[in-house]
Amino acid sequence: MKKIVISLLIVAVFAACGDKNKDYLVKIKTKYGDMTVVLYDETPLHKKNFLELARSGKYDSTVFHRIVQDFMIQGGDVAKKEGVRESEEDRIPAEIVDGLYHVKGALAAARQGDQANPEKKSSASQFYIIDGMSWDFMTTDVRQLNQRMSDILQDTAHSDLLKQFQELARNRDNAGMTALSLANKELVEEKYGVDLSVDPSQYPEEYHGVGGYPPLDGEYTVFGKVVDGLEVIDKIAAIPTSRNPQTGERSLPSEDIYVSMEVIEMKKKEITEKYGYEYPNSEE
């Protein structure tokens, strides 16, 4: 019932506008600066949900509660702010679109892992923004490598390797963990009889320039991107962190980074001119 009410409210908002040449940007405000995001038309369920939460003020006074430098910053836990548990029925069906990648600045939906959530449904509110790193060495299928490496680390015969990964994880050294996986590429290929080599040209140029985190591609819904304020991601990602007692991950920020949001209506042509974002199938 809750989803139906929210959907009707959003439909009413768009109907009131009635102008296909306009769109909505969302400005995410923090004490470290503002990030302006555009939301993809290709992921309509996530776009509507994010706009409704931002417009209603539900995101205001939430925090970035998980930070992993060279990876991502995560926030938007409305349920925690309101002192409730997120309901499974409020989660959003996955909208994983080929071509929407986890490049630096990508806005994506957090979710539970595959074991508890095989349909890859998104959280009703939590999101993350990619900080990422450069992937100039992208000649390996890193996502499959990491999946296979995770299986290998369950084998007690590789306990020394597991300790190395655990130490890197404690220091939130994602680049180091990736490098260690790549160093053991031959081990994985031999054990599973696979060839993990790939043609680098199949990946977006951004992964070799501004960077990103391609192992998440195809696993989580990317529904927007930061078009202004990329430097703010770096500032927040550099905040010191401590170990989260619930997960063991070194990702708990040393300070509260509160968020407030503003929805901005703007002509699509102006968005393209000001921020360089090109709309798919645009008639402009």
Examine the pLDDT at 248 and tell me if it is beyond 90: no
Coil vs helix vs strand at 265 = strand
Q: What b/e readout covers 199-223, taking b as 16+ CB neighbours within 10 angstroms?
A: eeeebbebbeeebbbbbbbebbbbb
Share of the chain above pLDDT 90, in %: 58
Q: What is the DSSP letter of 36?
A: E
Average pLDDT, the chain: 87
Residue whose pair of structure tokens reads 């920020």 in the numeric block: 253
Question: Residues 6 or more apart from 280 whose CB is under 8 A from it?
Answer: 41, 42
Q: What b/e readout covers 65-91, taking b as 16+ CB neighbours within 10 angstroms?
A: bbbbbbbbbbbbbbbeeeeeebeeebb
Please tell me the least confidently modeled range out of 1-15, 37-51, 143-157, 206-220: 1-15
At 151-197, the pLDDT tens digits run 898 888 889 999 998 888 777 677 678 888 888 999 999 999 999 98
Higher pLDDT, 144 or 170: 144
Examine the pLDDT at 68 and tell me if it is beyond 80: yes
Half-sphere exposure of 226 (CA within 13 A, CB side): 27
The per-residue pLDDT for 244 is: 83
Q: What is the DSSP string of 160-177?
A: HHHHHHHHHHHTT-HHHH
At 3-12, the pLDDT tens digits run 444 444 444 4
* For the chain, domain boundaries: 14-135+202-265, 142-198
CATH 1.20.120.1200 at 14-135+202-265, yes or no: no
